[in-house]
Structure 1
Amino acid sequence: MTPDDPALSFGAAADAYDRARPPYPDEVVDWLLDGVDGPVTDVGAGTGKLTTALAARRDGVVAVEPDPGMRAILGQIPGIDSHGGSAENLPLGDGAASLVTMAQAWHWVDVPRASAEIARVLRRPGRLGLVWNYRSSADAWVVRLSAALGGVDSTGLMHEIRGHGPAAASPFGAYERLVVAWEHVIDVDTLVALAASRSYVIVRPPHEREHVLSAVRELGEERAGADGSVRLPYETYAFRFDLV
Structure 2
Amino acid sequence: MDHGARLRLASSFGAAAAGYAEHRPDYSPAAVRWALAPAPGPRVLDLGAGTGKLTGTLAALGADVIAVEPDPAMLAELRRALPAVRAVAGSAEAIPLPDACVDAVLAGNALHWFDMAVAGPEIARVLAPGGTLADLWNVVDDRIGWVAGLQRVGGSAAIGPRDTFSGWRSATAGLHRPGSGLTARSGSAEQAEFPHGQRRTAGSLVATLATRAGVLVMPEQERAATLSRIHAFLVGRPETADGEFVLPLLTGVLRVRLRCP
Structure 1 residue 20, shift from structure 2 partner:
1.5
**Pick aligned residue for 1:233 from 248, 254, 258:** 248
Partner of 1:208: 222
Q: Unpaired segments of 5 or more residues in structure 2?
A: 177-181
Partner of 1:8: 11
Secondary structure of the corresponding residue to residue 78 of structure 1: coil
Give 2:45's aligned amino acid: T
Tell me whether 1:183 sits opposite 2:197 in the alignment: yes
Give me the whole-angstrom Cα distance separating, in 2, the residues matched to 1:151 and 1:24. 22
Query: Bigger shift: 165-174 or 112-121?
Result: 165-174
**Pick aligned residue for 1:18 from 16, 21, 27:** 21
Partner of 1:129: 134
Paired residues of 1:43 and 1:63 also in contact (CA < 8 A): yes
Paired residues of 2:200 and 2:246 also in contact (CA < 8 A): yes
Structure 1 residue 50, shift from structure 2 partner:
0.5
Partner of 1:117: 122
Structure 1 residue 226, shift from structure 2 partner:
7.7
Partner of 2:111: 106
Partner of 1:56: 60
Give 1:241's aligned amino acid: V
Give me the whole-angstrom Cα distance separating, in 2, the residues matched to 1:197 and 1:235. 19
Tell me whether 1:47 sits opposite 2:51 in the alignment: yes
Alignment map for 1:74-223 (pairs within 5 Å): 74-76=78-80, 77-152=82-157, 161-163=168-170, 165-168=173-176, 169-170=182-183, 171-223=185-237
**Pick aligned residue for 2:72 from 59, 68, 71:** 68
Structure 1 residue 225, shift from structure 2 partner:
5.3
Secondary structure of the corresponding residue to residue 181 of structure 1: strand
Give me the whole-angstrom Cα distance separating, in 1, the residues matched to 2:159 and 2:124. 23
How well do the aligned residues superpose, as a CA RMSD in angstroms? 2.4
1:128-183 CA distances to partner (integer Å, 9 max, x unpaired)? Answer: 01111111221232222223322257976566741372422322221222211333
Q: TM-score, normalised by structure 2?
A: 0.84
Identical amino acids, percent of aligned pairs: 37
How many residue pairs align between the two structures?
243
Structure 1 residue 197, shift from structure 2 partner:
0.3
Query: Bigger shift: 43-52 or 208-217?
Result: 208-217
Change (3 A) 1:243 1:79: same
Give me the whole-angstrom Cα distance separating, in 1, the residues matched to 2:154 and 2:88. 32
Give me the whole-angstrom Cα distance separating, in 2, the residues matched to 1:119 and 1:161. 24
Q: Unpaired segments of 5 or more residues in structure 1?
A: none
Paired residues of 1:136 and 1:235 also in contact (CA < 8 A): yes
Partner of 2:35: 32
Change (3 A) 1:65 1:240: same
Change (3 A) 1:196 1:161: closer
Paired residues of 2:139 and 2:162 also in contact (CA < 8 A): no
Q: TM-score, normalised by structure 1?
A: 0.90
